[in-house]
Amino acid sequence: MHLLAFLPLLSSLVLQCIADPFIPNPADYVLPFIGTTNGGHVFPGATLPHGMVKAGLDTNSPGNQAGYDADPQYDAIGFSQLHDSGTGGSASLSNFKIWPFASCSSFTECPTSPSSRAVPRKILSDGSPDDAASPGYFASNLSTGIRAELTTTRRTALHRYTFPSNSSEPRLLVDLTDDGLQSGYDVTLLIDPTTGRVTGDAWFEGSFGPGAYHLFTCVDFQGEGYDIIGPTEYGSWSFNTVTQNKTNLSGTYSGSSGALLTFQPATNGTTSVLVRVGVSFISSAQACSNAEAEISDWDFERVRSDALAQWNELLGRIQVDPTGVEEETIQLFYSSLYRTHIVPADYSGENPRWQSTEPYYDSYYCNWDTFRTLYPLFSLHDPERFALITRAMIDIWRFEGWLPECRGATIQQWVQGGSNADPILGEFFVKYHEHATALNISVSDLYASLLTDSQNEPGDWDLQGRQAIAWNNLNYVPDELNSDFGGTNTRQVSRTLEYAFGDFAISQVAKLIGNDTDAAKFAKRANGAFNMWNPNITLPGFPGVIGMMQLKSSTGAFDMYTDPRHCSVNDPTHSTCYLDSNNHDGFYESSPMVYSQFVPHDTAQLIALQGGNESFIDRLDIIFNQSYFDPTDEPSQQIPFMYHYANRPGLSTKQSRQVISESYNTSVSGLPGNDDSGAMGSYAAFLLAGLYPVPATTQYLLSSPFFPSISFSNPLYETTTTIKTNNWAGNPADGIGTVYVSSVVVNGEQYKSNCYLDWDLFTADTVIELTLSDDDSLGCGDNANALPPSLSTGGFN
């Protein structure tokens, strides 16, 4: 046989070898406690990938957005069933706490309120609390001698409480009303005195919006290794008053309220009591049926093992070669990837607001945080989940009129910027339009929902949609209101920039469905970002930095100056631009210096407005050197990679590596700020992979990975794309070394650019070989298409 006949088989064998996992159990490298104190607000408890139930320990920390705080000065107050992860705003969820008592002087003397029952955790020799976690599992050793362990299925938590040997009356409390905000009201409680089953419900306030939600639970008890016939004592409680033998509550109570039960200990050996907690947004009966269907066998280790297997399969779709890589780097990568799959949460079957056969996902908290990097990461390894989330968003549009922007516990929350479900749906469709029908996506409804966002103004754009009338009439958001109140008159510049990018995403969808008229219309509207460009503004102290995004009136005049330093660490007024009643700024959570770089679809035009490549590079250098770059906030995320567009990708590599070395580590305070529903996790994962996405496009900007190779397996395509380095030499601490891409070869052929990869490389079995250099002055290459695309230079058309 001729040698060429062997090449397809040889290629297949090579790719098969590449696809074999370097790390068969990547969950072993996940450290759930990263970012669990000092403002990271990460949830470290037990959950499935995108599970509704997230069971974890709650502490009495003021930073209790996710319930938990790793700081040992804060005491434990309960183990609740629902949480969000990494959010700002107020505490979110933390409902239906379970609490164990090793002993009380008597049943009615048990300290039931959160403040009175709080106890420290045991402290390890290094001063940290004696807590442990891995994907799908959480444990804590309390100072009372009780060990608490948690694991979950999608809608049910299974707790295991192991009591000290001298505990003759193990007691368990169910708290129906104490969520993280202590907002529970209108309580219903019923205790079955024969079995001990507790059913109940309450209403709770939203975390980041004006509404309230209704939640139900069903709690059962079972001895592990011995039978529990029923409770030996039972009763209800409110605040610190326990009423023995009272089996019901109804109404609103001062302070917390719930149930208290005593069980007989094991006659031989250790007393471990299992607590199965079903949760539902529909009814207590459905909470019971959820629990009975998902954990009928009461097998804690089986549930834990099943959860771990799901995490290993999902995380294992992205494989890194660990050869020569510091273990902390591997841990940082897989921990970051893990956090991208905590939310959004799969609430399918649990939507109380309308009936539908479509999936329902919740905990979009918020799309403003996640559209840049979270969903483009899903595109690379989890398209089926991405499709379910897309279907869920479209279904929200069908029933509420607009796509969701910020949402939690089934209720609308405050809009932070634009209608950023638009680039999320654009991201999905650009990548998977050929498979949309097979993935049960209605293409017509997807496009109609995007048009609604862009063209129809809701009654209150603070909760959904856009300030569409002004946007459609002026192609920007003016600094004054010219219509009846429909939302807060703030963030006009940042909303304009995000509306523009949303319309760019719509143009890409229109092009793919063959609607050339709409494609041209929305591409033109995307150019509205530059309507906010005032060429006469300079940065104080830096006269060479000329031109800035600024507020603009409806007459077209720039008559309201905003200092480019505003809302940065250099702001003389120390403004924050946060979303609150005192914010009347044109910018949200970042400065004009940062927002003046946000036109991802047309950076080439931005470079021209800023005076050309050298001036653009100088401005980027000032952003970093003067600390305008903010690693804690999403508007800055693209900035390290923007040197690519000025043909200096080496500088992007240098800056992106410094972001990792200076802002991320594997400690409990290892995040620069809130994880923001996985936004910071996905950002770190991309930087470690040597990539940065341009959402709703086919481009991933390219740098060098922190690993000799990294592979992305796509279960929909059944393909693997491997990015490998031919001369990887480690990760120098200062980011300077053999880390700059000098050549890109794809399946043996020289690639068109050293600066970006097209999506088609991730739709087939592909080997991408990078040759690295220590020369940071290398450009994107000599090909006419070497620079990353921009609208004004003919890209994306």
CA atoms within 13 A on the CB side of 320: 25
Distance, first Cα to last Cα, the chain: 46
**CA 647, CA 787: separation in Å to the nearest integer?**
7
Among candidate residues 533, 524, 477, the one with its CA nearest the CA of residue 504 = 524
Between strands 699-702 and 691-693, the pairing is antiparallel
pLDDT of residue 579: 79
Region for 52 from its dihedrals, namely left if φ exceeds 0, alpha if ψ lies in -120 to 50, beta otherwise: alpha
What does R_g of the chain's alpha carbons equal in angstroms? 27
pLDDT of residue 485: 64
pLDDT of residue 14: 37
Between strands 185-191 and 198-205, the pairing is antiparallel
Residue 375 Cα distances to 92, 126, 136, 332, angstroms: 22, 38, 23, 19
pLDDT of residue 254: 75
* Cis peptide upstream of residue 755 (ω within 30 degrees of 0): no
- pLDDT below 70 — which residues of the chain? 1-20, 482-485, 580-583, 735
Q: Which two tokens stand for residue 649?
A: 């990708």
Among candidate residues 732, 539, 528, the one with its CA nearest the CA of residue 625 = 539
Are 120 and 69 a contacting pair, CB within 8 Å?
Answer: no
* Cis peptide upstream of residue 344 (ω within 30 degrees of 0): yes
Cut 0.85: pTM above it:
yes
**CA 112, CA 89: separation in Å to the nearest integer?**
28
